[in-house]
A and B are shown apart, each in its own frame.
Chain A
Amino acid sequence: MDITSLTIKEMRSKLDSREISSPELTKAYIDRIKAVDGSVESYITVTEEGAMAAAEAAQKKIDAGEATALCGIPLAIKDNICTDGVKTTCASKMLENFIPPYNATVMEKLEAENIVMLGKTSMDEFAMGGSTQTSAFKKTKNPYDTSRVPGGSSGGSAAAVGADLCAAALGSDTGGSIRQPSSFCGVTGLKPTYGRVSRYGLVAFASSLDQIGPIARSAEDCGIILNTIAGYDPHDGTVSKNPVDDYTSKIGMDMKGVKIAIPAEFYAEGIDDVVKKTVLAAADKYKTMGAELVECSMPSLKYAVAAYYLISSAEASSNLSRYDGIKYGHRSDITGNYNELITASRSEGFGDEVKRRILLGNYALCSGYYDAYYGKAMALKQKIREEYNEIFGKCDMILTPTAPTVAYGVNENISDPKKMYQADICTVTVNIASLPAISTTCGYDEKGMPIGMSLIGRMWDEASIIGAADAFEKNFDRIAAKI
């Protein structure tokens, strides 16, 4: 087996037994990136020199017998997570030359474990999109079929994991941006509970919904990474002081007696038949493992996309007001007064989708429209939370498709924002309700494209959904992308 397709757990064992070294592993990824990434376009920046130096440092720790879980493991980082001294573009012309003067807290935590950062991955501009085709730099392709999208917004991270261009990656998830690309690229992605992982240094899109999480080749690997990045951070007031669990503690869990909810609305009109059938077949598989399937309902799902876009765009319009071209970011050459300079800088720096979200956010918050849109969306947020609470009163976890379709062609949907937004129906309620959810592959369509299912857990109970996803993965033959 090629060392680039191992799981983190397998790499750890080979690194610790000196079967392979971290520099050797890192070099194998760098070589593969050079050979393959021209067609996948998953990385915006490859940090070859830094990666090799980090690998040498990690190897010293390994040789001294001081290696921790992620020591010497080559990872990719989504390009909206600040990396001290390494360009962080958010896939936007606005931040094309932005070099953060500090590390995000997750980077501090990963560097303390001596990980090897291979580079920064492409994404939809400012994480706004589900295809990675709004990236100003690299319009990433799906490793299973390069004529299709990898999903988004963490499409670069998911494609890099799926194409064996890193051991695992970090993404961020505001309305499905970790889970949906993981589904499209045939890998496993975890969106942690809101407040489980610090957002300090994550370029803000919608602050009440954004959360950083791992994308990997297995649920167990997601748990290993979460163990490192979770926890309290004085720099982010929304991070919980709840103790950090061992998120691999339920690996190998017995599914007997576990109650899995199947909410009817997630399997209704608008979800492709092949997706529905495959996810329901996965539910049956859980049943044969001893789990109990419980039919249930989430009546507010039909309003969820609207509520999500109103809340996230309202927050985005405020968060993105910081880009004035003066302190950092693109500054227009057009000379004029203060307002003219800011307007020109923003108009030149932001792409079309980002502008649409800002306009929508301003509309939702406008005097005269606030109650009808933003106020109603916030009321729906409360209703969706209540409906989840009701389900969790009777069940342990919820099983849904991750996306209504498999990955679509690179030129489909892009010019139709309405169609793009509606495709988020399966994922947005999880962010609205602050819950954790994991997506893993549960089958392939007739053309071999991966189909993902999501397990949604109670707040702070990442360990159970990781355990349940692992139980499925152990009984499932994953077909790797042939790139």
Chain B
Amino acid sequence: MDHDMVRYLAKLAKLSFTDEELEQAVSDMTSIIEIMDTIKEIDITYDPLKDNHNVYLKDLRKDEAKPSLPTEKLLQNAVQSENCFVVPKVVE
């Protein structure tokens, strides 16, 4: 696990690290990947046909509109709101 890989993963995750944090993250991730690498020694393959036998599509509930929560309740946790969620300008 090198610095470039951690920077790439952080970018995918929308996380930013200071130089010091990046050093620590590289060291931690290197150590964690050592544990993960143990699974490389076992030779098995995932068989998708063995899974999800208990998912019955015929049991799905009807697609019916139900009352939704009031707007003010949905906005109560937004730090910035004006009867809608406020985001930085994305179109010039």
Contact = CB atoms under 8 A, between A and B. Distances in A.
A418 B32 contact: yes
Contacts of A392: none
A346 B86 CA distance: 17
B45 to A, nearest CB: 6
A352 B69 CA distance: 34
B77 A356 contact: no
A303 interface: yes
A101 B14 contact: no
Interface string B1-32: 00001100110111111000000110011011
Interface string B43-73: 0111100110000000111000000010001
Interface in A245-278: none
B79 A325 contact: yes
Interface stretch (A209-217, A289-297, A329-337): A329-337
B27 to A, nearest CB: 10
Given A317-B13, A359-B10, A363-B33, A306 B78 contact: no
Contacts of A102: 69
Most chain-B Cβ atoms within 10 A of its Cβ — which of A241, A305, A328, A339?
A328
A378 B46 contact: yes
Contacts of B59: 241
B82 interface: no
A137 interface: no
A362 B61 contact: no
Contact of A380 (B10, B37, B42): B42
Contacts of B44: 376, 379-380, 382-383
Contacts of B25: 355-356, 359
A389 B34 CA distance: 30
Interface string A368-391: 000011011111101100000000
Interface residues of B, number: 47
Contacts of B78: 326-328
B45 A379 contact: yes
Contacts of A309: 32, 35-36
B39 A307 contact: yes
Contacts of B46: 375-376, 378-379, 382
A101 B69 contact: yes
Nearest to B12: A362
Given A325-B79, A327-B77, A342-B14, A382 B47 contact: yes
A376 B41 CA distance: 10
B39 A310 contact: yes
B76 A99 contact: yes
B79 to A, nearest CB: 4
A375 B46 CA distance: 6
Given A241-B59, A359-B9, A347 B35 contact: no
A360 B13 contact: no
B83 interface: no
Contacts of A376: 39-40, 42, 44, 46
Contacts of A327: 77-78, 85
A330 B79 CA distance: 8
B37 to A, nearest CB: 8
A418 B87 contact: no
Contact of B13 (A97, A358, A373): A358
A377 B14 contact: no
A305 B33 CA distance: 12
Given A327-B77, A350-B15, A362-B9, A338 B35 contact: no
A3 interface: no
A303 B39 contact: yes
B33 A347 contact: no
Shortest Cβ-Cβ A-B pairs, 9 listed: A328-B77, A331-B79, A101-B73, A379-B46, A379-B44, A378-B46, A418-B31, A306-B39, A362-B9
11 contacts: A306-B37, A306-B38, A338-B88, A359-B25, A360-B33, A366-B12, A376-B39, A376-B40, A377-B39, A418-B35, A421-B35
